[in-house]
Amino acid sequence: AQSVTQPDIHITVSEGASLELRCNYSYGATPYLFWYVQSPGQGLQLLLKYFSGDTLVQGIKGFEAEFKRSQSSFNLRKPSVHWSDAAEYFCAVASSGAGSYQLTFGKGTKLSVIP
Amino acid sequence: SQTIHQWPATLVQPVGSPLSLECTVEGTSNPNLYWYRQAAGRGLQLLFYSVGIGQISSEVPQNLSASRPQDRQFILSSKKLLLSDSGFYLCAWRRDSPYNEQFFGPGTRLTVL
């Protein structure tokens, strides 16, 4: 069965600093990988996605992620964090079965931004 | 463009009462639909998914049920709520694309007292 690990529960960075959120996955085949962001009390917004092709993918809000098959990782990065980036971030892997694709999520990383 | 709605936004219910949460999708046809629950500090758990009208798959045994009476409507129900049913319930639909990404609704905050 597939699984996703986000080793950092909570990260605090200063505004303007760079950011890297870690994600490791376990999946037997080529994975569909995603990063979502959730503000308090809101639904999840898709930041970026990967299935194949270029291993460095660009997303919305200035985020990017790099797929590393050898490390089973899909880390999220941003070169300069803004206060509005404070939120919870979820990494997810999709697997197929019974005619549908199901997402398995990590437990999330809460990002706090210091002015 | 596609949009997804959930109703109600918040709900406070007593233990033992029934539940009905509604999710509707606009701008697409025959979507795959999903119900997730998010409990504090526990990430998101897939509860049900549906590939078409009347077709429901359950991921975990629980006090809840789901139905899909129309193509773009997905309903989450319970006959008798438990305290453990409290949480944030999210509906999602899957885009039929090479990435199979899912898009989420705004969620329903359910508190069972």
Strand partners, A73: A24, A68
pLDDT of A71 over the 80 cut: yes
Task: Determine the distance in angstroms separating the CA of A16 from the nearest CA of chain B, rounded to an integer.
Answer: 28
Q: pLDDT class for A27, splitting at 50, 70, 90?
A: confident
Say how far residue B103 (Cα) sits from the centre of its chain: 12
Q: Cα-atom radius of gyration of chain B, to the nearest Å?
A: 13
B contact set with A (CB within 8 A): 32, 34, 41-44, 46, 49, 51, 57, 59, 90, 92, 94, 98-107, 109
In a mutagenesis test of the A interface, which of B48, B102, B109 is the best target, namely the one with the most A β-carbons within 10 Å? B102
Bridge partner list, A105? A92
Domain boundaries, chain B: 3-112
Percent share of chain B, pLDDT over 90 = 78
- pLDDT attached to residue B60: 77
Contacts of A51 in chain B (CB under 8 A): 98-99
Which residue in A51, A98, A102 is closest to B99 by CB distance? A51
Query: How far A2 CA sits from the closest chain B CA (Å)?
Result: 13
Instruction: Compute the radius of gyration of chain A from its Cα atoms.
Output: 14
φ, ψ at A31 (rounded to 5°): -90, 150
Mean pLDDT of B42-69: 89
Distance CA B91, CA A43 (A): 9
Sequence spans of domains, chain A: 3-114
Q: Do residues A45 and A37 make contact, with C-beta atoms less than 8 angstroms apart?
A: yes
3-state secondary structure (DSSP) of residue B39: coil
Cross-chain residue pair B102–A103, CB shorter than 8 Å: yes
Model confidence pLDDT, tens digit, residues A11-25: 999 999 999 999 999
- Subunit contact A94:B34, Cβ cutoff 8 A: no
User: Which of left, alpha, beta for A7 (phi over 0: left; psi -120 to 50: alpha)?
Assistant: alpha
Q: Which of B101, B79, B106 is nearest to B91 (CA)?
A: B106
Contact A106 B43 (CB under 8 A): yes
Contacts of B44 in chain A (CB under 8 A): 44, 90, 103, 105
What is the CATH number assigned to the segment(s) B3-112? Answer: 2.60.40.10
Asked if residue A20 lies in contact with residue A35, where contact means CB atoms within 8 angstroms, the answer is no
Work out the average pLDDT over B19-44: 91
* Alpha helices by DSSP H, chain A: none
Q: Which amino acid is at A4?
A: V
CB within 8 Å: B51 and A98: yes
Give the residue-averaged pLDDT of B64-92: 96
Token pair belonging to B107: 């969620």
Architecture of the CATH domain A3-114: Sandwich (2.60)
Contact B15, B113 (CB under 8 A): yes
Taking phi over 0 as left and psi of -120 to 50 as alpha, with beta for the rest, A44 belongs to beta
- The full length of chain A comes to 115
pLDDT confidence band for B76 (50 / 70 / 90): very high
Residue partners of B64: CB distance under 8 A and separation at least 6: B19, B47, B48, B76, B77, B78, B85
Stretch among B20-34, B36-50, B81-95 having the lowest mean pLDDT:
B36-50
Q: What is the mean pLDDT of chain A?
A: 92
Of A49, A100, A105, nearest to B32 by CB-CB distance is A100
Q: How far apart are CA A94 and CA A73, in angstroms?
A: 14
